[in-house]
Amino acid sequence: MSFQKEKSVVLDLYEVLRTADESNLSEALSRFYDDQALWRGFHPFNEIRGASQIAETFWLPLKKSLTTLQRRMDIFMAGTNEMDGFQSVWVVSMGHLMGLFDTAWLGIAPTGKMAFLRYCEFNKVENGRITEAAMFFDIPHLMMQAGLNPFPPQTAAHLVQPGPMTHDGLLFDLQPVEEGEKTLAAINAMISDLGQWNSGLSLEDELRRTWAEDMIWWGPAGIGATYTIERYAKQHSGPFRASFAERSKTRHLCRMAEGHFGGFFGWPNFTAVPTGGFMGMPATDKPGEFRVIDIYRRQGDKLAENWVFIDLLHFWKQQGVDILARMAQVPRT
């Protein structure tokens, strides 16, 4: 199946976002979004409907803040959604929105310097228009670039994250169908192991079933990135599993793959109750939602890289900690 028309819709949208004047951005976006399009974004944006609100609530303030904004894509792909029986087509892009941080955004004081906002976006395209979207972005990562420390010291490394090691994530052209099928099968096998948290194997041996030994987990600011199965188990997966109880079943709205790349998102993906230790925070006994995007690169029959977006501001606000409000009152270091 060809996804070239759907890809063209999203690429044309990105060009309009780059070139449109502030005065006509809402009108310009209405060419691409359905009148009742549902846009999902990380806290504090949450759910927005329609091109006008998407423009006025998210894009206009961001473009005023990160001036001379440019999109630096590392992955671009499309595919049918396994979660609705492969009926709908979704177009996915991931990378950074880069600009000069000249005006405050969400109460975060500007630096006057280059800043990178990590993002990943899923767009459902029907009859040439976007009817649903998930636009996830790493606000704590921007805070840290502005000299703020929204979380206690993390277990892994904080980095401006690169794209695929293979430099082949921009799938503008048709891809072999069988490669996407292999990627989706690898992702589903990993989800099956991850969802049970009790495979009967050691964590490292469980991970080896679906992950390459030199895998890289590009986690969000507040958790960080980690490299190799052994360090991933030590620096994220093990501590994360030890910090939660009552993990719900996985709930994805979209799961797809094309070529050697694939991914999914949920709203939320799952819920869990913190029992203490996660990101240096105490137990709360309150269930929390995890809104997550995961993007994967497959190498052979194993997953080799994973870029992860987690709405940590939403999760901690549910636990009674408003990170965004707290950081807006803290001077930069």
Residue 196 pLDDT grade (very low, low, confident, very high; cuts 50, 70, 90): low
Same-domain pairing of 124 and 182: no
Does residue 171 fall inside a structural domain?
Answer: no
pTM for the whole structure: 0.95
Same domain, 277 and 134: no
Residues 202 and 321 in one domain: yes
Contact 303, 212 (CB under 8 A): yes
**Contact (Cβ atoms closer than 8 angstroms) between residue 323 and residue 312:** yes
Q: Are 135 and 97 in contact (CB under 8 A)?
A: no
* Residues 306 and 190 grouped into a single domain: yes
DSSP letters, 170-196, are B--S---HHHHHHHHHHHHHHHHHHHH
How many structural domains is the chain composed of?
Answer: 2
Both 187 and 258 in a single domain? yes
* DSSP letter (8 states) at residue 319: T
At 53-83, the pLDDT tens digits run 999 999 999 999 999 999 999 999 999 999 9
Whether residues 94 and 219 share a domain: the answer is: no
Domain check: are 85 and 32 in the same one?
Answer: yes
The CATH number of the domain where 106 resides is what?
Answer: 3.10.450.50
Is 159 within the bounds of a domain? Answer: no
The whole-number pLDDT of residue 200 equals 77
156 lies in a domain?
no
Same domain membership, residue 61 and residue 14: yes
Q: Are residues 187 and 314 in the same domain?
A: yes
For residue 6, what pLDDT is reported? Answer: 98
Q: Does residue 141 share a domain with residue 191?
A: no
Domain housing 57: 4-145
pLDDT the model gives residue 152: 83
The confidence band for 310, taking pLDDT boundaries of 50, 70 and 90, is very high
Q: Are residues 196 and 140 in the same domain?
A: no
Residue 155 lies in a domain: no
220 and 136 inside one domain:
no
pLDDT digits (tens, 9 = 90+) for 134-158: 999 999 999 999 999 998 877 777 8
pLDDT of residue 333: 54
pLDDT band for position 43 (50/70/90)?
Answer: very high
| Burial class (CB within 10 angstroms; exposed 0-12, middle 13-18, buried 19+) of 60 | middle
Position 332 scores a pLDDT of: 58
